[in-house]
Structures are given as C-alpha cells and as structure tokens.
Structure 1
Amino acid sequence: MPKASDNIKIYRNPNGPVVSTVNRRVLEQDGLTFKDIDGTGTLSPVNDWRNSPAERAAAYVKTLSVKEKIAQLFISDWRMAKYPITGPMADLYKDIEKKTDETGILDEGEFRGKTIFGEQYLPGTSLLLKDWFNRHVILRANATPADLADWMNQADAVCEECEHFIPVAAASNSRNENGELVFGMNDAGGVLATWPGTLGIAAAVKGNNIDLVDKFADTIRREWNACGLRKGYMYMADAVTDPRWQRTYGTFGEDPALISEIMAHIIPRIQGSDHGVTEDGVAVTTKHFPGGGARENGFDPHYAAGQWNVYATPGSLETYHLPPFAAAVKAGTSSIMPYYSKPAAAKSAVQHDLAGNTVEMKPYGFAYNKYFIDTMLRGQMGFDGYINSDTGIAHNMAWGVEMLDVPERIGFAVTNAGVDIISGLFDNEAGMEAYNRGKNGYYETHPLPEGFAKEELTLTDEALDRAVARTLTELFALGMFENPYRDPDEAARIVATPSDWEAAADAHRRSVVLLKNDGTLPLTADKRANKKIYAEAFLKNAKHAADSTAALRKELADTCILVDDPAQADFALLFVSPSSGEYFNATPGYLELDICEDKTVCNVDANGKPMADTHTETTLHGGKRLAEIAASVHANGGKVITNVNITLAWQLGNVEPLCDVLLAGFDTYRSATLDVIFGCFAPTGKLPLTLPRGDAVLAVNADGVCISPNDVPGYDKDRYMPDSLKDENGKAYAYRDAAGNYYEYGFGLEG
C-alpha cells in the first residue's frame, strides 16, 4: 500500500534548507528553490527562506484571513484510527465513527461527546485541516515510529492542498519514559527509547550524572524529529512542595537548584541550540508556570477543590517555585504552559517576584493572569516565546473567570493575559464570536461582566496577529514550512539505534536508590547458590499484581531457586508499587501516601477541611500480607529485600521495618533493580524528594491548614515544623529508618 512519502519531491539548496513537497508549487530564483507557501506564486517575504522566521511570520499574518488565524489559536486531542485511545478515557471516545482512508492511519472518523475538558466535536482529519484550517493537535496515539512519520506526512500533504500552506504542528506529551500510561499526562510510552520516570532521571542525576540528561535530550531530539513530532509538552519545571500532588511523578523532584540545572541541559539539547529551536530540533513547552507544586493539601486543579495555589510561607514563590522557570527561559524554551490554578491571596503570605516587587495575587487562573504572564514571565524573566494554555481552561477549569462565557474567556486569555494557544477544544466558532463582539456592538445590547472592560474580553486584531505570529515563528524556525516530511523507514531505523536503548538501560540502573542494607546486598550468585527465593509483586490492582508476579518469577527462574511458600525462603524479593487517587477525579479525602490496605481516613468538605465522616483507602492490594511474609522469612532465618516504586512521596512506616534491604525505583525497569540486587551494578542513585515520616507531619487542622507548609519542599520543611515533632537532631519531617538514616532529599547508600 503506498505511503505519503512515496510522492514526496525533494530539492536541495546549496547552503540552504531542503525543500520537500507533495503537491505544492516550487519557485526557482538565483539557482535556489523556494516553496510557494502563501499561494502568491511569487518570491514574497513569506516564501523566501533567507528572511528570518520572525520576519516571515509577521508577513504571513497579513496574508491569512481572520478565519485562518483564529483556527491557529486552538489545540486539542487528536487520534489515529489504527491506534484507538485506551485506558480510563477509552469509554469517552468509544463512539468515534470508524471511517478511515485506505491506509488505515489517517483518521476520517468523527467524535461528539463530553470529556473532562468540555463538550467535544472532533471532525475527521481532512475536514479539520482543509475546512476548519486548524493546525495544532495533541497527538495521543502510542504509534510506531513509521506510522507516526507516515501519519504526519499524510496530514501535511492535505495541508498543501489549501490556498495557504501551514504544516501540522502535532504536540505530544513525553514519550521516552517508562510508567503507566495516563491520558493527558503521558499518553504514550515503550515505543521510543525508554528511560526511567523523570523522578528516576533526577535520582540518577543527583548521583553526579548530569551528562545523562544530555544523552536523554539528544535521544529525544533525534527520535522525535525522525517521526515528525516537532513539539513536546515537556518537561515539568515544577518543584514538588506538597507531597500529595498527583503529578509528582512527572517532575524532577523537589529541589529548584537541581531542576534548574536539568532545564539548562535538557531544553537546548532537545531544541537544538541554546538560543531556541533549530531545523533539526523539537520545540519544548515547559510547564506549569509559575509552578504547580504549591497545592493546597495536594488537591489537583482538574477539580474545584484544587483551584488554589497557596503560598503560606513568606518568600516561597521566589525561593522555590520561580527559579526553575527562569532557568527554562534562559535556556531558550520555545513555549511555556501556565497551570490551571490561581493564587490564593487570603491564604498566602506576602510574596515577591524576581525583581523584588510584591506579587499581585489577583484570583485568576494563571492562563488568565496578566501580572504573572505579562509582568513577571515576559517583562521580568524576558520570555519571548509563546504561551500555550493547559487543556480545558476555557470550559471546565476556568478558575477565577467562571462568570465569563466561553468567547469572553478566549478574549480575556488572548487579548488581556497574552495567551497564544488555548488547549482543550477546537473553539473556532467561539473564537470568531470573541472577535466579532469587538466590532459589532455586542456590549451595547448585552451587559458587560462586572469588573471587566470590553477591550479585555474581545479578541482584537492586534492580539490575534501577535498570537499567530508567535506560533508561526516557531514553525518557520523548525524548518517545517520548507521540509515537513520524514521517511517512515528512517524513523524506524533511528528509534532502533542500539546506543540509545543502552543509554536508557544505564539510566534505569543509575536511578535505583539503595535506602537500607544490613549487608545482604550485593546478593551475588555465590551468596544465593543453593538458596531458596520467594518472589512476589504487589500493586493496587489484584490482577495486575498477579500478572506482575508471574513475570517476576519467570525473570528469576533461570538463575534462582524459587519457592511458593515464604516460610521456606532464605530470601524474599518483594516489589511494591503502590498507587493513590485518580488523576481526573477528586478523592473523598486527602490523597493517601501511606502504603496501606483498608485504612480508615477522614473525608473532606467542599472547602477542603477535614470532616468527622470517614472512608477507607487502599494504596496496595495485599499490603497487609507484607508483614506476614516478612515474619515467615525471618522465622526461617532469611532476609527480606523490598523495592518500592516511588511515584509519590510514600510513607514507608508499614514497609521499612519489615525489611533487611530496601530500595527505591522510579518507574525503573525491574531488570535494572535486579542488576543492583544481584551485584551487577553498584547503586549510585539519590532520592530526588523527601519521604515524609508519617501522618503526623501531613496532618491538616480544622481550618484546613497543614502542619507542614504546602509551598515548601521537603528538605526545608523542618524550618517550619513545631518543636514538639522534632527529634534530638532537630528533624521532624523526613522518615527515619531503624539504622537512623533520614530518607530525605539527596539520601542514598552506595555499594
């Protein structure tokens, strides 16, 4: 079956860009080849690649129609017919009409329905590109490299049929880390070279391996570029300060200095230079400004209880949350994504921006907050890229502007705050309505929302041109107008590069943190000769646990003597992978960090305060059996070796005392952990965040205030903890094991 790449014509310019096209007219002048992008048939400023990307973009916005420009303001979910959406969101998309073209890759189906982001109408691909003229999509399909490249080629070929050519800008959440696939966070994985989770990368880097970040970023740039993916919603510059934040696992931990160092390395390497994107680079969207870690007791802003960022500690914003974003700006990040939430003035202490000014705490979500975006991010930090909102701000997560209708929210975000792309829905009609209201006298017959000016709520020509020019500038700088096409076979070859997978495997081993060892490790072949081993995996889901246990035992079968009864074992290998909460749904209480089964905990009311009512929480199916297994093994004179997968800052009080050896992984390959256990690799990883002692240091009083401040990272929380909780060393927050070691940021034994 033919691929779009079979029809691509390629022209090579001496000392200039490659020009590729399927059916677009090309222009010849001075021995050089140019693409007729704007359809004029002339070597206009838009078509002349010798002009700067900014110059070409500024010229193009004068050519495009208002309808075409408004379509550039929106980005939303997209899919590939060959790769249906799976997981928790699958039911929402189950009724997509199954019409496809002959390749089975370019989706021509339609979807109408309600998602967490709002009421969706997703047309077929050709309709979206040719009639609607939208060009920004979030590609969530976990496709093969060849299929990704071919899909992008087909989509761009459709775009070439339009009067004005703009290539498809397919954004994606990160795809190069291991872990559970979660819609809206990490939609794809396991296809590209697969590294540990970002917490694991931070654990490895903290062990003096910053060059690992360079290899990671280089791999991403080459693989994504080969597949035609040129825009990444990655990575998070957020510092974890409240440990109950669901998105902890996608961060680089709690230390703003380490996060800043990672930003300084990862962004230029992915984008191709230290001054922005290049023709072989991938544009980076750094998230979530000004830092999502300052959660009020962990509540997530996908639901109403989490709509506030609380800065209860004086100076916390400038000390812990802003520096990584300043580093990202300095590193040239192409785009920044503000968080859903809004600052809570009534619950916050005085904060200062990076210029030393008192921060204005207007209660608007950060994508609507002109002070944070225009004054702080652009004016003080010098950010000159574009602003890409988080998904759903104009509909279900419009915190602080609920009194506005959707067109007004669009106008307020773009014209007033300076947002350049709104994520979540293809709201072209609402965007046009926001534009027309500024010209048709709408507010002469309709009431103006109190506290807002007409000029803030309508989409002006100046704001529209500014937003579109910024995103077009990125596409020109990436070389996507001249050469958007990629070879699917080459994509497959590049992703299969052995050295990239070897570097990823090395990172997995380096991510393992050894927390406790009584001398049992390394459990070398001679130590386990003729010894019996009991092995079991524990997860929140019983079936997944059984499947994982079977896979673990199969992995060990050739090198270990396995037994089914822990009472017969000389060693028990326990892999513990707890899970807590749901990303898109509020829990009845606070997110549970205890590794527990059927634990009774309090409910919370609509204001986030604890109630007398209770419910039970389980973060680990079969968790109560851990003590039984440990007792049986110890009664036999054996040793218990446990690995805990750290996706949140788990409380280890129900696990550590049972173990002779304790390790931590971060969506780390089990084979890498076994390499450390069996002495094939000496552990070097360090904790990227502090593990809390227990419920006492996360207690929330009747007023909803946590005893440990939500806006301060774990390594600094002791400064604000009551003396009654502190031990003889003045420490209260971090977990302390039987050997006297504190499981705080930067800790890790070496062997």
Structure 2
Amino acid sequence: MSIASPQFLVIALFITSAAIAQPKAGVMMKQPVLGYRSAKVLTVGALQFKDLNKNGKLDKYEDWRLSNEERATDLLSKMSLEEKVGFMLISTTRLKNEGGQQASENKLQVTSDFNEEDVVATNNIFTRKPLPVPIMNVAGTTKGVTQFHLRHFIFRANVSARITAEWANKLQALCESDGLGIPAIVASNPRNHITQDASIGLSVGATTFSTWPGELGLSAMRDLKLVREFADIARQEWKAVGLRKGYMYMADLSTEPRWQRIEGTFGENAEWVAQMMTEVVLGFQGPKLNASSVALTTKHFPGGGAGEGGQDPHFDWGKYETFPGKMFENNLIPFRAAIKAGTSSIMPYYSIPKDLEYEKIAYAYNKRILQDLLRGKLGFKGVINSDTGPIEMMPWGAENLSVIERYKRTLEAGVNLYSGTADPAKLLETVKSGMVDTKLVDESVRRLLLEKFELGLFENAYVDAEAAEKIAGNAKFQERANVALRKSIVLLRNESKTLPLKAKTKVYFETYFPKRGSANPHNVYAAKNNNHNVEFVSTPEEADLVVLWITPGAKSLFESDGSPLYLSLSRNNVDVSYVNKLTEKKPTVLAINYTNPWVINEIYNDGNKANIKGVIATFGTSRDALLDILTGKFKPSGKMPFTTPRTEEAVKNQKEDVPGNLEAPGYSLFKYNEGLSY
C-alpha cells in the first residue's frame, strides 16, 4: 500500500524548519512513497514524513532525509530496555487455521520454534477451517508485538500470495499502531525450490512462487548468470508478499556425504560455492541493501558440513564437527564471498568444533569464532542471528550453565538476534542482573535497526495484495525457471549413444519414490498424447527401453535417531531386487534424484551395468524437464555438484571435512564437475 487508505484520516502538521532535524549534505531529498495505516503525516514544505511515535513533531528517526546511522541512533535512545530486549528475539508466527500444523481439533503440532507459552496461547484460537484466514493471532502475535515488543518473525505458512500479503499488512499495521511504530521484518526459509525434505526449518517446499531446481540443481547448472536471474526473480516474489528476509542460503559444503542437509547446499567445491553465494546475495539484496531488497541470512557459520559421522547438531549425538583432514579454512571460503557481497546476516550453527584450537563449545557461544574470526578476521559488520534454540534446546558445551548464564555467554560471544523463543523474560532478566554490559544490547539493536532502515520499512512496510497475486509465480518467471530445471540435469553415462531417444521409441517410464504414507512407490507414465515424439507404454515387456527415475526415500533430518547413516539404496527404502529385475528385462536408462551422494553399486556396478545404457543425475526437477533431456528437446549441460562414493566402505573411510574430489583414489564413482552432452 503506497498511501493511507481513505478510511484513515491524514492530518498534515506544519512545523517550522527550525524544529526539523537537518539532513547532511549529499543525502537524497527525493520524497519516498509512504505507506501507513494509523500514523499521521507530518508535512514540511513539500515533503511528508510519518509521525510514528504520535508526538506531533518530526523526530530524527522519522526523517528519511537523514542517514540510517543517525536515525538508528536516535530511535535507540528512545527505546526502553524492555523494547530493546524484545527486539532481539525472532520467533515463528502462525496464521489462524494454518494448514498442515494441526494434529487434532485443538492441538497444535509443536515445532522447535515454540515455547510452551506460545503453544498454549495459540491453541486457544485454533479451529478447523478449509483454508487459513488472514487475521492476526490475537493470543500470540498481538501479545508478542504489544507486550513482548517483538518485531522479528519467521513465517512458516504455505498459503497463497494474497493471504501472505494480507497477513503481512495486518502485522505491519499492528506494529505501526504500537509504541514507537517500529515496523516488523518477516523472514522465511526457502520457497522457490523442488525439495524432498520440506521440513519446518529447512524449506517450505512447493509454493505459489516460481518453481526452480533444488539448491544442488542450481549449482549443477554451472550458469552464474541464470543463478543471479533466479535470485532476482525470487526477490521480486518475496518482496511482493511482504517477506523481506530469507533464512538462506547455506554456504556449508557437502564434504560429509551422509549429512542429511546436503540437499540445501551448493555442493562440495568451496571456490564454486563462493561464486554461487555471491550471485544469490547480489540477486536478492542488490549491491547494497535497499528498499527493493530481500535481506539474506547466510548459514551456518563457520560451516556445518563436517559433522562427525554425518550426524547433525540439532541432536546431542551430532553435536561435534570434526576436521580430520585439517580443512577448516576451506569452510570459510564461501562465507568470505557472502560477506564481500554484503550478506545482511550470518547464522552460526549448534556444533562444537573438534580437532581445532577453538573452545569446545557451540559456535553461538564461541567468542573466538564469532568475534575474532567472523567480526575480526573476516570483517563481517552485519547481524549475527542465532539458529533456533541454542539457549533452551541445543546448548552444546553449555549444558551445565543456567539459561541466564547461557544468554550471558552468547551475548558476550556476539549474538545479536535470538531465534527460538517469543518470550523475552529470561534475556531481560540476564540484562537486568548486571551480569552483562548493556552496551552489548545497544549494539545488537543498532545493527537490527540499521537493517530495517536500509530496507525502507520505516517509510513503507506495506504491500499490494492484488499485485502480489500477479507477481508470484507468473508465467514469465516460471518460463525462466523451466530453463533452469532442464539445465540442472546431469548426463553421466550414455552407452552406445542411446540418448537422445530416437523417434517412435517405445518407452516404459517409471518413477520410483518410496515415501511416507504411500503404499505404492511406483508411478508409470502412460501419456497417450505427448509432444516428445516417443511412445509411452504401460509395461516393460512392450518397451524398447526402460526409463527408471529413482528418488531414494531417505530419512528426514528430524526423523534422526542417532543410528548410523548410510548412502546405499537398500538402506534408503529402495527395493534393489525389484530394480535389478526390471533393468534385466530391457535396456535401461537410470535417473537418480540426488539429495545426497548416493551409493548405487547395488544396481549399477561392473556385474550388472551392461544393460544400463544411460545414467542421469537430477537434483529436484520436473518430469517434463527430464523428458526433454531424454528426447533431445534440450541438450544436457549440467555438471555434478559433488562426488559420489563407489561403496559404503568408501563412505566409512572418508574424512568429514575433505571434498570427495580430494579423497583417496578409488573413492569416486561419479566425479565432481562430471557431465556429458549430446
């Protein structure tokens, strides 16, 4: 929304220039578009300003002619300690009747972002309806804004662009009406990718936005220009609905092949991942954070891809990150690139560093990691945003400290924004106790305010819900995404030039995706009318060629139980006996969807690969895109973003911090950067 709605009275207050804070020379004087609901407007000459604190005069923080630093300093001086502490929390917020979150009539499925009070308060207003409705969560979000002084929120809901935009506007109107009128910033996990593990906290999965390959697929394209275009398109969609911050992207390296978060990385090669990070940061943020930007949170510093045994530090059994190959510095290369590109925030992981000279405590507590390394050596000046729950849930290395002592340690280490709770009571108690210097709070709030000023939220935090519907997922955007879906596919083997398929070939095309809740993982494509110039048949016996597209049914991250992780197909819900019997019947092209570097020797090895004429790697793409590659409508150009191990024994013997392409000879089946074309 660019101007106040007609139902709101606009009062122009004329005040003398002597009462106005004077802008510095060189600061732009062009009138920005103001968006407001309850704030009155101050008119000074031909210029307009929002009276956010409703005192009838123009304060420095309301004066868009001043520098962001001056405005932040002024606003900071006006905030109470309670407001400052609430400002340092970011928590999940919900829509009433939010789909997919209810376990029963009045029981909300608890996620890691909710403390007990949040759940109880939210449950009181939940009822079953077919679709979420864009109203504020009276018992939760309103209390958070008006009593807890929250101004940072994580939006998890997967709803239409209009509902998201209307909800965001209601949130901003609530914030505008309260106290100093400080706007909210709404963050989200990725929303533009085909992903297998769309768990809360990882990725939202398929949405109304344009649909692109998974992060590994973007990397496999080897097309930095298209990566930048992706980020710019996604930026437009996010901004249109009021999402102004991304909890993304992962600069972590996929050096430990068993890690369950590899799907969200850009692969194993640090130098290439650095180039990818540069493009996504510049595409979402621009050369400098501005009113058109979506701010990014680069994670998980200083790299989370070397977990011991592939386990993840969300869990006690995965709390150690290990560096047997002495390649810790390699992890920092993508973060250096993100910092140089201007990433707004950086998120440390929960891990305890092992085999290093750093203190054996989680990175959010580790002053040498955050202050000496991140701030000092790498020169990062933005916001340090904790991952969800390092105080109450994953305080590795600080288990014996009280909650107040944990807040003290993390504040002194350098955390500016805490994710995982909506209740500021314990943080406030920590600050009031005198255990920490209040300058740490002021410095954190100053950084957070600067981000909001740079994003232009104080001038206009509102969006046009009708326009959002037209922008999100529009045909022009999806046309570019469709190119990416095809460019992300990697051709690894093509015996006897079996591909592209010749015209009139009879093809049995089966997708094999074992997943929870599905009794039958097999789906046979039997389109009678298609534009691929081949004939699809319903049985292998009728076919000239079998195409089998396998998506291993790996455990979701949050299904982990501490047992060893494996990469062989049989350990990931693939019936290898079924696959081998099928591939014995006819010449076969295998397509494997890689969320991890799967070990496929049970279905493709020296003993049984004679009948397998082609191998294709996908990383989150569409059936039509794969068919275009198979039939030659689109020539394959993708390259592997990581190395795949030859055997489980090779996986067991590899070093967690060493990229696959640097492992011992004999490790790899498919090598990093490998890929064929026609």
Name the counterpart of 2:672: 745
Name the counterpart of 1:118: none
Paired amino acid for 1:325: F
Name the counterpart of 2:21: none
Distance 1:692 1:547, change over 3 A: closer
SS at match of 1:167: coil
Does the CA-based 8 Å contact 1:239-1:253 persist in structure 2? yes
Distance in 1 between the 2:78 and 2:374 partners? 30
Distance in 1 between the 2:367 and 2:436 partners? 15
Paired amino acid for 1:380: K
Name the counterpart of 2:539: 565
1:158 to 170, 174, 189: 174
Distance 1:18 1:142, change over 3 A: same
Does the CA-based 8 Å contact 1:10-1:19 persist in structure 2? no
Distance in 1 between the 2:190 and 2:263 partners? 13
Name the counterpart of 1:337: 347
Name the counterpart of 1:233: 247
Name the counterpart of 2:387: 390
Distance in 2 between the 1:237 and 1:556 partners? 43
Q: Residue 127 of structure 1: CA displacement?
A: 1.8
Paired amino acid for 2:385: N
Name the counterpart of 1:26: 41
Distance 1:469 1:588, change over 3 A: closer
1:490 to 464, 467, 472: 467
1:36 to 51, 62, 79: 51
Q: Does 1:264 align with 2:278?
A: yes
Q: Residue 623 of structure 1: CA displacement?
A: 3.2
Name the counterpart of 2:96: 81
Distance in 2 between the 1:107 and 1:576 partners? 43
SS at match of 1:124: helix
Q: Does 1:106 align with 2:80?
A: no
2:184 to 132, 146, 168: 168
Cα displacement string for residues 674-699 of structure 1 (whole angstroms, at most 9, x for unaligned residues): 11001110000000000011112122
Paired amino acid for 1:431: L
Structure 1 residues 670-681: aligned runs within 5 Å: 670-681=623-634
1:70 to 81, 85, 98: 85
SS at match of 1:284: strand
2:301 to 264, 273, 289: 289
Distance in 2 between the 1:628 and 1:539 partners? 17
Distance in 2 between the 1:555 and 1:244 partners? 40
Structure 1 residues 304-703: aligned runs within 5 Å: 304-314=316-326, 316-318=327-329, 320-344=330-354, 348=355, 360-414=357-411, 416-438=412-434, 458-524=435-501, 527-529=502-504, 531-541=505-515, 544=518, 546=520, 549=523, 552-554=525-527, 560-596=534-570, 618-633=571-586, 639-656=587-604, 657=609, 659-699=612-652
| TM-score (structure 2 length as normaliser) | 0.89
Distance in 2 between the 1:379 and 1:572 partners? 57
Name the counterpart of 2:19: none
Distance in 2 between the 1:5 and 1:184 partners? 36
Does the CA-based 8 Å contact 2:297-2:347 persist in structure 1? yes
Name the counterpart of 2:203: 186
Distance in 1 between the 2:207 and 2:547 partners? 25
Q: Residue 217 of structure 1: CA displacement?
A: 1.1
Distance 1:509 1:86, change over 3 A: farther
Q: Residue 474 of structure 1: CA displacement?
A: 0.3
Distance in 1 between the 2:203 and 2:436 partners? 32
SS at match of 1:482: coil
SS at match of 1:664: strand
Name the counterpart of 2:114: none
Does the CA-based 8 Å contact 2:498-2:614 persist in structure 1? yes
Distance in 2 between the 1:194 and 1:281 partners? 20
Q: Residue 475 of structure 1: CA displacement?
A: 0.4
Structure 1 residues 727-746: aligned runs within 5 Å: 731-735=665-669, 743-746=670-673
Q: Which range moved further: 13-22 or 621-630? A: 13-22
Q: Which range moved further: 399-408 or 482-491? A: 399-408
Distance in 2 between the 1:554 and 1:406 partners? 59
Does the CA-based 8 Å contact 1:34-1:48 persist in structure 2? yes
Paired amino acid for 2:361: Y
Distance in 1 between the 2:338 and 2:509 partners? 43
Q: Which range moved further: 618-627 or 394-403? A: 618-627
Distance 1:555 1:496, change over 3 A: farther
Paired amino acid for 2:185: A
Distance 1:254 1:694, change over 3 A: same
Name the counterpart of 2:659: 713
Q: Does 1:254 align with 2:251?
A: no
Name the counterpart of 1:96: 123
Paired amino acid for 1:192: F
SS at match of 1:160: helix
Name the counterpart of 2:313: 301
Distance 1:655 1:688, change over 3 A: same
SS at match of 1:224: helix
Q: Residue 581 of structure 1: CA displacement?
A: 2.6
Does the CA-based 8 Å contact 1:289-1:337 persist in structure 2? yes
Q: Residue 496 of structure 1: CA displacement?
A: 4.0
Paired amino acid for 2:640: L
Does the CA-based 8 Å contact 2:220-2:640 persist in structure 1? yes
Distance 1:471 1:221, change over 3 A: same
SS at match of 2:572: coil
Cα displacement string for residues 604-649 of structure 1 (whole angstroms, at most 9, x for unaligned residues): xxxxxxxxxxxxxx4134332000111122xxxxx21121001001
Q: Residue 63 of structure 1: CA displacement?
A: 0.4
Distance in 2 between the 1:163 and 1:587 partners? 46
Q: Residue 716 of structure 1: CA displacement?
A: 1.0
Distance 1:54 1:579, change over 3 A: farther
Cα displacement string for residues 303-338 of structure 1 (whole angstroms, at most 9, x for unaligned residues): 111111111223x111x2011101111111100000
Does the CA-based 8 Å contact 1:508-1:669 persist in structure 2? yes
Does the CA-based 8 Å contact 1:223-1:491 persist in structure 2? yes
Name the counterpart of 2:15: none
Distance 1:547 1:147, change over 3 A: farther
Aligned residues: 640
Paired amino acid for 2:337: A
Cα displacement string for residues 471-521 of structure 1 (whole angstroms, at most 9, x for unaligned residues): 111001000011001001111111243221111000000000001111354
Q: Residue 564 of structure 1: CA displacement?
A: 3.9
Paired amino acid for 1:515: L
SS at match of 2:576: coil
Distance 1:579 1:709, change over 3 A: same
Distance in 1 between the 2:173 and 2:53 partners? 15
Distance in 1 between the 2:483 and 2:440 partners? 47
Distance 1:9 1:292, change over 3 A: farther
Distance in 1 between the 2:294 and 2:537 partners? 50
Does the CA-based 8 Å contact 1:217-1:266 persist in structure 2? yes
Distance in 2 between the 1:323 and 1:419 partners? 22
Distance in 2 between the 1:131 and 1:21 partners? 22
Does the CA-based 8 Å contact 1:394-1:406 persist in structure 2? yes
Paired amino acid for 2:212: W
RMSD (CA atoms)? 2.6
Distance 1:254 1:150, change over 3 A: same
Does the CA-based 8 Å contact 1:581-1:591 persist in structure 2? no
Name the counterpart of 2:233: 219
Q: Which range moved further: 258-267 or 76-85? A: 76-85
Distance in 2 between the 1:643 and 1:420 partners? 45
Distance in 2 between the 1:168 and 1:189 partners? 25
Q: Residue 40 of structure 1: CA displacement?
A: 3.2
Distance in 1 between the 2:537 and 2:279 partners? 47
Paired amino acid for 2:674: F
Q: Which range moved further: 67-76 or 471-480? A: 67-76
The gaps in structure 2 that reach 5 residues or longer are 13-27, 112-118
